[in-house]
Amino acid sequence: MDCTADDEENEVFMQEFYYIQMEKYARQAVSEGVKNADDLHVSADSEIYRVLNLHYNRNNHIEVWGPQVPSNFRYVVEQTLREFFKAIQGGKDTEQSWKKSIYKIISRLDDPVPEYFKSPNFLEQLE
């Protein structure tokens, strides 16, 4: 399947929302006095997971922990949150391109988007 400009634009928009949320919740953790990134955990009950689910799964077509959700999704969310937390806690967010190193780390954890998500009939396949 060829990637169109609209697909690329949509992907950038989706990534922007994700990273904005990660930064927001990492800053919140710092302001709440969390001292160690390992103390940050993401579960299906976490507010950050709920916010991501509401944004990316608006019509609840995908079960939050169902077979359509990549198995390492929660892990990647947790690692992203921890990387943002460490950077903010360490004062790196005052540097101009501070997020680039986080993007590099997280991009290594990315899974390819499953082909069935790209199908125009994706929602019908879930019913």
Show the domains of the chain with their CATH numbers.
35-120 (1.10.10.500)
pLDDT at residue 118 in the model: 66
Closest among 77, 65, 63, 84 to 110, alpha carbons compared = 77
Q: Phi/psi of residue 68, each to 5°?
A: -75, -20
- Evaluate whether 62 touches 69 at the Cβ level (below 8 Å): yes
Binned average pLDDT, 10 residues per bin, the chain of 127 residues: 54 77 98 98 89 77 61 88 98 96 91 67 61
pLDDT at residue 67 in the model: 57
pLDDT at residue 15 in the model: 81
